[in-house]
Structure 1
Amino acid sequence: MLPEPSMLAPEYPAAVVGGDVKTSQAVTGALYAALGVMAEGSGTMDNVTFGNERHQYYETVASRSGAGPGLDGTNVVQTHMANSRLNAPEVVLERRLPVLLESYAIRRGSGGAGRWRGDDGGVRRIRFHESMTISLLTNHRRDPPYGMAGGEPGTLGRNSIERVGATVVELAESDVAEVRTGGVLVVESPGGGGAGPSGAIVRSALIIERLRQD
């Protein structure tokens, strides 16, 4: 039973949003940490919406999975409650909306180090051919996904807008912003946490122990 009222059992008129996007992912991560099952993976289902008077669009951007005993993470996948696939860029995005999907790539090196590595998030770049209002609901932009049993945490996520003229505007994990024609929205999802100490850490510990014994 959950205590009432609480964050997980809110009562009117409490403001609620993102129960699947944020809260359920955070609860899952907390349970995995308490049970020592695996390092934190997505911890978020990055929600991106944008639109103007003529166009509206919504998507969830995949992140990655964390590592566990004997198991590396997986690059750029939806995890836990987030099991949707991205829409086809040519059909859904570029034919129907005044945008260009410049790239969607693996964010190399964003996974946490460890004996089993947390895998990498993604980098999604969308260029706008019309002015739009962007709304973001993301997580792990301030606190990194945790590692497990000596594994390193994943890299923080990052949201930004690259304006015409090379000006970069940093966005918060939950934010609303205006982007003008030619601007680029960049969503960098966080990396997954690693599990177990890395080989270098293990070797250092063994050397220190031998020196102590000598």
Structure 2
Amino acid sequence: ETSQHVVDALYAALGVMANAQGSMNNFTFGDETRQYYETLCGGAGATADADGASAVHTHMTNSRLTDPEILERRFPVRVETYEIRTGSGGDGLRRGGDGAVRRVRFLAPMEAALLSTRRAHAPQGISGGGPALRGEQRLITPDGAVKELPGCFSVTVQLGDVIEIKTPGGGGFGSRAAS
């Protein structure tokens, strides 16, 4: 997580790119016999020449998400949603990229955890560009009860529970009002 913020700070100091999502959104789940670890994409920061890309990993990454069909065959889970979080990128002459929404339903009790940032502080725009939406996450039980979760959590999920993770967008570049 720290490396993401260092790169964002360097680009901002140079004035060349708004903040990206700033998190790897490290999501894990498992039990005594199986474990899974994934990182979730988010929005890239905008530059003077381009909108930020949506639903991508930024800066220093080397990861790939397991195909849902394979994940669902190997683990008692269902990927209910994995989509672009429309409107989560910062506004500006160049818009920040949008984050993502991922919902995983658990078909057996397990431990689930998230290590993420950009929950308390939004990815910032630059040169008058707007901030992106912060990340958020929650536990939804089969009876519809919703529990908001912090950016770093560990929780025991039960049969039918859903973990929903909304990743941050990227900041915008430039002010529309100034143009």
Normalising by the residue count of structure 2, what TM-score does the alignment of the two structures yield? 0.97
Q: Counterpart in 1 of 2:174?
A: 196
Count of matched residue pairs: 179
* 1:165 counterpart = 2:143: yes
AA of the residue aligned to 1:48: F
SS at match of 1:122: strand
- 166-175 or 107-116, which deviates more: 166-175
Shift of 1:102: 0.5
1:104 pairs with 66, 82, 86, which one?
82
User: Pairwise mapping of residues 1-214 of structure 1 onto structure 2 (< 5 A)?
Assistant: 22-91=1-70, 93-198=71-176, 201-202=177-178
Q: Unaligned 5+ residue runs, structure 1?
A: 1-21, 204-214
Shift of 1:63: 1.0
Shift of 1:54: 2.5
AA of the residue aligned to 2:178: V
Structure with the greater alpha carbon radius of gyration: 1
AA of the residue aligned to 1:94: E
AA of the residue aligned to 1:135: A
- 171-180 or 123-132, which deviates more: 171-180
- In 1, Cα distance between equivalents of 2:14 and 2:121: 20
Note the aligned Cα RMSD (angstroms).
1.0
Shift of 1:126: 0.4
1:105-153 Cα distance to aligned partner (Å, 9 max, x none): 0000000000000010000010000011111101101100010000000
Q: Unaligned 5+ residue runs, structure 2?
A: none
| Greater strand content | 2
- In 1, Cα distance between equivalents of 2:37 and 2:89: 26
Identity of aligned residues (%): 48
- In 2, Cα distance between equivalents of 1:202 and 1:79: 28
Higher relative contact order (CA 8 A, sep 6+): 2
